[in-house]
Amino acid sequence: MESPASMALVLLLCVMFPGGASAISAGSSDGSQRWGYTKPRHNVNMLWWWYRSPQPLRVSTPAKPWPTVLWLQGGPGGSSTGRGNFLEIGPLDGNLQPREFTWLKLADLIFVDAPVGVGFSYADHRSALVKSDDQAVSDLMSVVKALLRELPSLESSPLYLVGESYGGKFAVKLAVSLVKDIKDGTISNLTLGGVVLGDAWISPADYAVWYAQLLNAVSRLNDNAVGHVDKMGIKVKEQIEAGQFAAAQKTWTDQLDVIDSKSDSVNMDNFLIDTGMNPVLATGSQLLSGRNISQACQSALYINFDDIMNKVIKLLLKLIPKSIVWHEATLEVYELLKNDFMKPAVKEVGELLALGVSVTVYQGQLDVIVPAIGVEAWVRKLKWDGIKTFLSLPRQPLHYCDSAIHCSQQIKAYVRSYKNLAFYWILGAGHMVPVDQPYAAFRMIANATQSPGKTD
């Protein structure tokens, strides 16, 4: 039974943060970091965290301005300030040691916990959590506008929206929205550098129909099960085409369960390994599928996210309310997006290309949940007048032999590009490319953002 004292405490907590703090921000004394909460809507508090690249690395000329990368995590429900930052691209790794190939050497970095409810971003009432991609993007638009007020450097630093997995869909839709506001003059002091899509959740139908054949071709799916898994993929596609998005998500989840059982638990992030084999890798597709968040959270303990975020970082950032506990994944946020989760964003990518926005797609070779072959399938369908020429071009193999240290006999990646579209195939990488192939990811983002930073 709850004691009156504990009930009073609950009440007190509610009183302490009525509607959350209003927009607040803070920063390190040397100006190299800033963070804060913005309030896009009543009861919604979004946390952002900005890092400025250190001197003497940060060189900027009018011809080659220093870029800013805004990183959007997948899930929906994964936290950028935690996973993107400490697991993938931030200045410190999961042991709080310097990361050699941090993207901060190439760009200022911004991590935003989105949608609200994720990481340290919180809603004062559950009713304020988002139920659609558009709502999530509208909150992100407010965050970007707040960032323009908070970060003077943004005026002269082109902004690149980088989205991994489900974050890719947010990046695309956010870019469409930003371009509109920039065009009509609502936003006058931002240069949208481009959009970068990492193993992005852009066309679920094109992914679901490939799972069976891909896993069969690499000897990872029981050959007796191929037909069944294939049929389920076709059903996913049909349901999406019929606009039955929640039903499609259910079929897709069932399909993943069948794959799990008929492959003896292949890791959907990387077909070379099993579920749970690599605690870092095991989580990406689980975040995306919401299938076993408890397992995902357990694996996160392996690199001690809980200690980092709820002890070290919470203390450091000071303005996080006591009652807010950082979780690696928020299942509720995932579930509330069920009517939009399977909606594609291929049309929007085509719009961006037609508007001249730079679009870079990068793709881990070993990913299953977002398979390279499925990504190629939606790229082929892009309504953009450069697509035919793009598809006709050869791929350029990358050995990185412009770098004395990283020159390799072995091909590290392929790139194909034409006009404002570039596609990178990153070899030996699964769903989270910067985790598996940090140097190739570093080189990819250097080129995608035209960073004047040094790459070796």
Ligand X SMILES: *[C@@H]1O[C@H](CO)[C@@H](O)[C@H](O)[C@H]1NC(C)=O
What residues line the site for ligand X (CB under 6 A)?
148-149, 152, 154-155, 189, 292, 294-295, 396, 398, 415, 417, 422, 447
Residue 338 DSSP SS3: coil
Amino acid, single-letter form, for residue 383: K
Within 8 A by CB and 6+ apart from 317, the residues are 26, 35, 49, 120
Pairing of strands 266-267, 270-274: antiparallel
- Cβ proximity to ligand X: between 152 and 227 the closer is 152
Strand-pairing partners, residue 26, are 35
- Cβ proximity to ligand X: between 346 and 415 the closer is 415
- Cβ proximity to ligand X: between 110 and 415 the closer is 415
Please give the span between the terminal C-alpha atoms of the chain, in angstroms, as a whole number.
61
- Cβ proximity to ligand X: between 28 and 294 the closer is 294
Contact assessment for residue 108 and residue 59, using Cβ atoms and an 8 Å cutoff: no
Burial label, 57 (beta-carbon count in 10 A; 0-12, 13-18, 19+): middle
CA pseudo-torsion sign 137, 138, 141, 143:
negative
DSSP string, 78-91: B-IIIIIIIIIISS
Q: Read off the tokens for 180.
A: 């509109």
The helix (run of H) or strand (run of E) holding residue 332 is helix 331-336
Local structure of residue 451 (DSSP, 8 states): -
Phi-psi region of 199 (alpha: psi -120 to 50; beta: other; left: phi over 0): left
Contact assessment for residue 433 and residue 440, using Cβ atoms and an 8 Å cutoff: yes
Minimum Å distance from CB 48 to ligand X?
Answer: 14
CA distance 386 to 96: 44
Minimum Å distance from CB 105 to ligand X?
Answer: 17
Active site residues: 165, 367, 431
- Cβ proximity to ligand X: between 53 and 135 the closer is 53
CA distance 271 to 105: 31
- Cβ proximity to ligand X: between 148 and 377 the closer is 148
Minimum Å distance from CB 424 to ligand X?
Answer: 7
> Which residue, 271, 249, 250, is CA-closest to 260?
271
Contact assessment for residue 69 and residue 449, using Cβ atoms and an 8 Å cutoff: yes
- Cβ proximity to ligand X: between 244 and 295 the closer is 295
CA distance 269 to 274: 9
> From residue 430, how far is each of 65, 226, 229, 283, 379 by CA, in Å?
31, 22, 21, 12, 19
Minimum Å distance from CB 24 to ligand X?
Answer: 17
Chain center to CA of 136: 14
Minimum Å distance from CB 397 to ligand X?
Answer: 10
Pairing of strands 122-123, 108-112: unpaired
